[in-house]
Structure 1
């Protein structure tokens, strides 16, 4: 559905829901609908964190408390306008989200969940026991409610406000998740190393996900406090964190409508079991385990295949008719490696290695297994820092720089073991390669500004052009992980080309390919070289190396033993010895 049609549909649905709510005269039913809106706000932000970024959090109750108590303290101790207090509460919650995100660079998976759980417990104890500030179990009374025409909102007006905020939240998050930042978050969930290699700033993306979840949850907490005009520690429990996580997992994490489905179903269940708290806790625990192990795609995942439509393959004219140009023309030194050494304890996969790569050439880095070739590629791209020596790319030192920074400088790569984002389409994989070349920021994407939409269109067109270059245009909408191995190699190659590299590093690109696929790969690499991209490939297929390389470097046990044109290297006795060994009796006879 196009953006305009989706906007109209959301407005019509919100108006219809507001009209239906007007028919309710019972405040109890209006309260249930209002709580649906509150829980949807929590779940929508949590879906960004869990469903897209793959970061598990058990501390949402603490963020809910941040918003609730911020608005409570502001409106009871100052003369601030309640609407402004609501906005400030969102900012305070966002700051708490940054606080939780700080450890996320160091811990992952269950350890991250434990950190967020600790945050939630600390906040729960803080509001429960620091009675001078937060009131403890007695709570804070006299919170100023939101007003309209100088009158507090009625129950129906609270529902209208909730529906409006939910519709706005859905539209804004859809803008983000359908574009540059949504793809970046999905790449984090799949493979952080591959994500950083295409220019995604991993830590920044995680912080964005945590802040989005925190802001929406904080707004929800502030709304509850202002509607009740009262808040105490009973609202802030671990049970709330589990319930918010369950809303996402049960509805369908990573789905646009999963949080909505989970919210409607579980809020009704929560209201039905309100008289039996012990039954609530048991049911939520059961549903959480059920969602994790039996229904990992949630309710929406069960029905997704019924509504999934196969997208039409792009036509060649969509990719453009002009020849692909990736890197600049020219000559001269592109990369200078001087005296690079790497120690892993007593193991030295690189020992005082030096070489120079020329612009416009196809270079090969060869050697027996264990020679240190992949270690050298990882040092060039920033995954590993050298112990000693210098690596200069385009005249700038790259040692010690982050992976995404080196990518932005113009160095792309593929991996020895495929690191595709398997659940994403082929087109989305390649568009992710353009992440670092897009300049639209988070807020421009959030508001779907014209510049952001223009860059998205340009990125799509460039990705289609590159898919045409590698003969995969007809598979653009297929999940990357569903393709045969040889085609997955091409997807990874197209993704690396999308970073607009001047130097492309290929770590065994022909690994696992049959002879025909290897020959086709050689022709493809020659075409890529004509697009202005210099290549350094690590490869064991000597036929491929000798047929397309301009310059060959040979490593053996971390030491450079030869360098030069393919024919010269092939005839070098040290290279022959490294690959084939020496017949010791004949050598001894020759010495005698």
Structure 2
């Protein structure tokens, strides 16, 4: 609430100050700060949070500008309705640019979006019959009140209002479930899917948000100028929007404001020397990348932390962390689980000449600790990857609680109640331990996009409920004291436990653990065994891949053995230990000698 009051007060002060400015140049500079803030705010969601690099924002700016131009000049649509429709047109183009971009990432993604921007630039330049070419489109209807067009002061007021609304809405969205989901995409898409984040859907959403804000900015420029041509749309605009985010501080809610204010003022100061403007922007981009990797927001944030401004204790964020007997949040096991929680029937997978799974069939019983063992290269991790949707089997079927999940997506399988950890740690290392575990709650939260965007009570209730559950999980796993530490800063054994806690946060019915004791010392391994037994006692079924035989044999109810992609034995631990084929697989002896 204090942030909202402070933001409203700041905008009110700026609006009041603008009413006393008579110089048209200063007013236009303020207006352009608002325009570029809108561009940067959406781009910050796409780049700073979701980690998707785009060089096609000029094309989205053009979509909004030319949409409002054509609607008001050719189709005589009212300027206010045209402004709204321009945002819808930009959202459509955002989806259009996102779909092919979902198949690539990194530099390839930047190239795809750059191609989109170039195509739009050429289209508006060469399409003189529709877009006016270099001559452009004139007589665009400006916004008005009672038939009287906005004055320059009113344009500044309206721009400030839009910036305030955009900032508050995005703040609502990014400080909760959706913000964490976007950050998980940037850190590790495979791990994001495993905790229930619909990776492709959130990528598209990030592109749409960036498109709408950029299209809105373009529409405002077209309506304020009452004119638009191809000179407004060029590659330099895309680079400048990227620079706004990087220089201000990508991933910070205040970065777009710092970037737009700083760079627009610098641009105004060097405007009389047009030849130097691009040089200055390029120099600032290099400076931001090398000297300020976290931008101005990172510089000011570090300074404030040194001064102790805005710091708070962990206890304020840790309600319920000190409960005496913490319990895990769990979901009820359906009656259909009595016949078997999960069954895999004749799963096959081949990678060229390597066949890590040959007709593997497994039945997992509810309430047991199952162990999957075998020599290195036996196909254990491939088997778990097929169960969780990361790898699609060539043949076979996976059934969970009576439903076929063989071809379902990773996040849908998580939503059904299957959680996992990874052989190689896949933590979101820059996020705190608490935020990592909160991401595990993603699939269990019920606040949608609109309730999160608008900051409705339902969204905050879901956040509070998730936080309470997460604090209980942290206490259960002994991680409460590390809740606010970056996950990547912890010792390796603790990082393993954080990944386990994150999996538990999805409230699974079945927990798949891929070598959870790898890299642990004997004491940590023993503590892990005790923790797994406690998890089993909470009603969660476990399938464990592990090479520590002492751990496997001491806690497992049922052991399955793979060798060269085939199941060679299964049963009680004592039975498996005495099986000659198991001895042969591990010791290299013949069956007869074993």
TM superposition score category, shorter chain reference: over 0.9
Q: Find the counterpart in structure 2 of residue 81 from structure 1.
A: 78
In structure 1, distance between residues paired with 2:264 and 2:457: 38
Q: Find the counterpart in structure 2 of residue 351 from structure 1.
A: 358
Q: Find the counterpart in structure 2 of residue 514 from structure 1.
A: 521
Q: Find the counterpart in structure 1 of residue 320 from structure 2.
A: 317
Structure 1, gaps ≥5 residues long: none
1:33–1:159 CA contact under 8 A, matched in 2:
yes
In structure 2, distance between residues paired with 1:433 and 1:457: 15
Q: Find the counterpart in structure 2 of residue 538 from structure 1.
A: 545
Residue 437 in 1 paired to residue 444 in 2? yes
1:434-465 deviation digits (Å, cap 9, x = unpaired) = 11111211111100111111111111111111
After superposition, residues 16-415 of structure 1 pair within 5 angstroms as: 16-308=13-305, 309=311, 311-313=313-315, 317-318=320-321, 323-328=327-332, 331-415=338-422
In structure 2, distance between residues paired with 1:30 and 1:311: 43
After superposition, residues 560-571 of structure 1 pair within 5 angstroms as: 560-571=567-578
1:491-535 deviation digits (Å, cap 9, x = unpaired) = 100110111110000000000000000000000001111111000
In structure 2, distance between residues paired with 1:78 and 1:65: 18
Shift of residue 393, structure 1, vs aligned partner: 1.1
Compute the TM-score of the two structures, normalised by the length of structure 2.
Answer: 0.96
1:52-96 deviation digits (Å, cap 9, x = unpaired) = 000010011111111111111111123322111111111110111
1:319–1:462 CA contact under 8 A, matched in 2:
no
Shift of residue 315, structure 1, vs aligned partner: 5.2
1:316–1:468 CA contact under 8 A, matched in 2:
no
Calculate the aligned-residue CA RMSD, in Å: 1.5
1:552–1:566 CA contact under 8 A, matched in 2:
yes
Structure 2, gaps ≥5 residues long: 306-310
1:217-256 deviation digits (Å, cap 9, x = unpaired) = 1110111111111111100011111000000001100011
1:328–1:532 CA contact under 8 A, matched in 2:
no
In structure 1, distance between residues paired with 2:21 and 2:318: 52
Q: Find the counterpart in structure 1 of residue 463 from structure 2.
A: 456
In structure 2, distance between residues paired with 1:361 and 1:266: 61
For the residue of structure 2 that corresponds to 1:317, the secondary structure is: coil
1:316–1:473 CA contact under 8 A, matched in 2:
no
Residue 501 in 1 paired to residue 535 in 2? no
1:337–1:391 CA contact under 8 A, matched in 2:
yes
1:197–1:413 CA contact under 8 A, matched in 2:
yes
